[in-house]
Each structure stands twice: as C-alpha cells, then as structure tokens.
C-alpha cells in the first residue's frame, strides 16, 4: 500500500512534468535570457552577445533617454487615473445593482460586455470618439456650448484629446527643490492630457470587471449584517461607507492588484488608440519594448526595458501570491 502510494506520488510528478519543463524553459529560461540580452552589446541586426562594459550601461542609457522617462511618467499617471476611475465606477455600479430591481441581469451584462472585447476593438472605436474633429467634440457644438462661449468672447471648446501634447500640473519646480539635479529633467513631470482619453477607454473596458468582483463580494455579505446596521439607525450612505465597503477590502485589494498588472503592461489599447502620442505623451514601456525589438533593432535596449517591466509587475504580484499561499496554508 505504501509502495503504491509512493509510486502514484511520482506518477503525479510525471504527469506535471511536461508543463513544468515548458514553464522552466518558456518562463524562467526566457526571462534569464532576456536579462542576459539586456547586458550585451546586441544593438544592431547582427547578433553580438558579448557583455557590455560596463555591464549595466544599457540600463544607464535607457534611464537617460527622455522617451523612457516619459514612459515611466506615463505609466504612473495612467495607472493612477485608470485604477482610480475603474475602481470608483465599478464600485458605484455594484452598489447601484446591490438590490432587488427589475432588469438586474440586463444591467450587469451591459456593464460587463466591454470586458469580452479585445483592447484593439476598444482602441479603434475610442480613437474616433476622441478624434478632435468629430466624436465628443461635436457635442460641444450640438449642445450650444461653443456658441455660448463665442458669444461670451471666449475660444470654443475644442480639446485635442490624444493629440494634445500638453502636460498639466507639472511638478518639475517642486522636484528641483527637493532634488538638486531636478532642473535638468528633460521631460515635464505632470499629467499628460493625452493620457486621459486612454484611461477613460480602459475604464470603459474594465470597470465591468471591477463591478463583477464587487457584486461577488456583496453577495457574500449576510442580510443580518445589513439589518443590524439599519436597526442601529444607519442610513444607506452610512451603511455602505462604514460597514459594507470596509468589509469589501479584500476584494478591493485583489481588484487593484489585477488592474495594476493590466496597467503596468498596457500595450494593445494604447497602440490602437493613440500610439506613442505627440512628444511621447501616450507612450508606454510596452510600446517602447516593441519598437526597440521589432522596429529599431536595439535588442539590448528593448530587453532592458522589458526587465524593468517585469520587476515592476513582480513587485506587485509576488507579495500577492506569497500572501495568498501563506493564507491558504494556515
């Protein structure tokens, strides 16, 4: 019996073996190889796998590139805008649907529907909605807003959306006060206006997912808890703010982590909707990697940027996985 058990244990391992080998090669082996490429002199079509001297020079070059600095800024700004919007909209929708109402299924399906589409479809459509010559800007004419503005002697409202190179709320001044080298920044540290439409499109696509996560969590809150809070005299607002939303914290954390992982590697949506944007206003690391590897043949640079992306996502994902596994074992 013990012997049979021992055998079957190893049989289990053998069954896993194909997937384990594939993972070892295609995930860990390839990550190692990418990292190695990032340390080499391979920066033309001709493969050159000699190590650079100094070894980290490609990373130094990359961090000094205004384009890559813009990418880092854009990732931070996009992440904050997108996650802020998606979580608040998603939570709002879940709360609206957290009751017995007619057509609940219809509403839920409508809000979740965009999640089934590809980022390319989303990008293609929203690109037109935010095209300065049509789309949203037509509403400012239809609604008479522009006529009113002109009558008041002001310029009509015609935002350039994804074509706007402006960076607002620049903090360069502030940064230069706390960091001596600050005045030599080659880019404006602020909010690129062109990223706002991209964050809105991403919210359209993913807020339904956030809603679904929260609806799952809300379904697990027992009616007794709601009743108890009501007996204590809590109104709707109070009930959600002080009782229900705090109870949903684990869901919020999971959701934010999933969205972080989407936003740190966002590629297709930006690629289809705005590309790199004016003055790299909507460029992101994933597009940088793609262009360095498949357009510019700067392989070591592309590999270095991809490793930076990997580290950024790992900082989010690894603690989450470790926590989940520990939690489960205890």
Which residues in 24-53 contact other proteins (CB under 8 A)?
A: 26-31, 33-34, 37
- CB-based contact 276:39 (threshold 8 Å): no
Contact with other proteins (CB under 8 A): which of 78, 209, 240, 280? 209
- Distance between CA atoms of residues 161 and 166, nearest Å: 10
Length of the chain in terms of residues written:
330
Q: Which is nearer to other proteins, 171 or 322 (CB)?
A: 322
- Quote the CA–CA distance of 75 and 189 in Å, as a whole number: 12
Regarding 140 and contact with other proteins (CB under 8 A), the answer is no
Q: How far is the CB of 191 from other proteins (least distance, A)?
A: 23
Among 56-64, 120-128, 171-179, 241-249, the segment contacting other proteins (CB under 8 A): 120-128
In the range 274-303, which residues lie near other proteins by CB under 8 A?
A: 285-286, 289-290, 293-294, 299, 302-303
Residue 264 CB, nearest distance to other proteins (Å)? 7
SS3 content of the chain, % helix, strand, coil (to 5): 75, 0, 25
Residue (43 or 188) nearer to other proteins, CB: 43
Chain positions 147 to 186 lying near other proteins, rule: CB under 8 A, are none
- Do the bridges between strand 167-168 and strand 191-192 make them parallel or antiparallel, or are there none, so unpaired? antiparallel
Instruction: Using the minimum distance from each CB to other proteins, give the nearer residue, 194 or 212.
Output: 212
Site for other proteins (CB under 8 A): which residue of 86, 187, 198, 272?
A: 272
Q: How far is the CB of 104 from other proteins (least distance, A)?
A: 10
Residue 300: which of 26, 25, 30, 59 has the closest Cα? 59
Q: How far is the CB of 155 from other proteins (least distance, A)?
A: 20
Q: Is 44 or 118 the residue whose CB approaches other proteins more closely?
A: 118
Q: Tell me if the bond preceding 54 is cis, omega within 30° of 0.
A: yes
- d(CA 291, CA 6) in angstroms, rounded, equals 51
Nearest to 262 by CA among 75, 31, 110: 75
Alpha helices in 179-298 (DSSP H): 195-219, 223-231, 236-238, 245-247, 249-264, 268-273, 285-294
Least separation in angstroms between CB 55 and other proteins = 18
Q: Where are the beta strands (DSSP E) in the chain?
A: 167-168, 191-192
Q: Looking only at residues 55 through 114 of this chain, which bind other proteins when binding is defined by CB under 8 A?
A: 93, 96-97, 99, 101, 107, 109-114
Tokens of 210: 């956030």
Residue 301 CA to residue 42 CA, distance in Å, equals 9
Residue choice 57, 67, 72, 129 for contact with other proteins (CB under 8 A): 129
* Cβ 148 to other proteins shortest distance, Å: 20
Shortest Cβ 28–other proteins spacing (Å): 8
Query: Smallest distance, Å, CB 177 to other proteins?
Result: 34
Residues 183-202, mask of contacts with other proteins (x by CB under 8 A): --------------------
């Amino acid at each position: 019996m013990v012997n049979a058990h021992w055998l079957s244990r190893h049989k289990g391992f053998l069954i896993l073996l194909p997937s384990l080998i594939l993972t070892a090669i295609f995930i860990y082996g390839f990550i190692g190889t990418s990292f190695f490429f990032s340390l080499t002199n391979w920066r033309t079509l001709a493969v050159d796998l000699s190590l650079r001297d100094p070894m980290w020079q490609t990373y130094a070059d990359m961090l000094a590139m205004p384009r890559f600095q813009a990418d880092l800024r854009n990732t931070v700004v996009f992440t904050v805008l997108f996650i802020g919007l998606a979580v608040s909209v998603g939570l709002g929708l879940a709360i609206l649907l957290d009751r017995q109402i007619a057509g609940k299924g219809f509403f839920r399906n409508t809000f979740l529907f965009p999640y089934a589409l590809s980022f390319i479809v989303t990008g293609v459509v929203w690109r037109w909605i935010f095209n300065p010559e049509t789309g949203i800007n037509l509403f400012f004419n239809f609604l008479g807003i522009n006529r009113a503005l002109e009558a008041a002697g002001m310029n009509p409202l015609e935002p350039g959306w994804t074509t706007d190179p402006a960076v607002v709320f620049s903090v360069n001044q502030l940064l230069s006060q706390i960091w001596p080298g600050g005045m030599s920044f080659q880019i404006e540290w602020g909010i690129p206006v062109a990223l706002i439409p991209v964050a809105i499109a991403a919210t359209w696509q993913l807020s339904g997912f956030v809603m679904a996560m929260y609806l799952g969590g809300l379904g697990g809150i027992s009616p007794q808890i709601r009743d108890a809070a009501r007996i204590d005299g809590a109104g709707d607002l109070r009930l959600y703010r002080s009782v229900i939303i705090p109870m949903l914290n684990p869901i919020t954390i999971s959701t934010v982590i999933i969205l972080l992982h989407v936003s740190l590697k966002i590629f297709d949506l930006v690629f289809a909707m705005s590309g790199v944007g004016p003055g790299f206003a909507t460029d992101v690391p994933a597009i940088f990697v793609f262009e360095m590897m498949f357009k510019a043949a700067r392989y070591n640079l592309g590999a270095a940027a991809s490793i930076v992306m990997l580290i950024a996502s790992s900082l989010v994902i690894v603690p989450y996985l470790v926590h989940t596994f520990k939690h489960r074992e205890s």
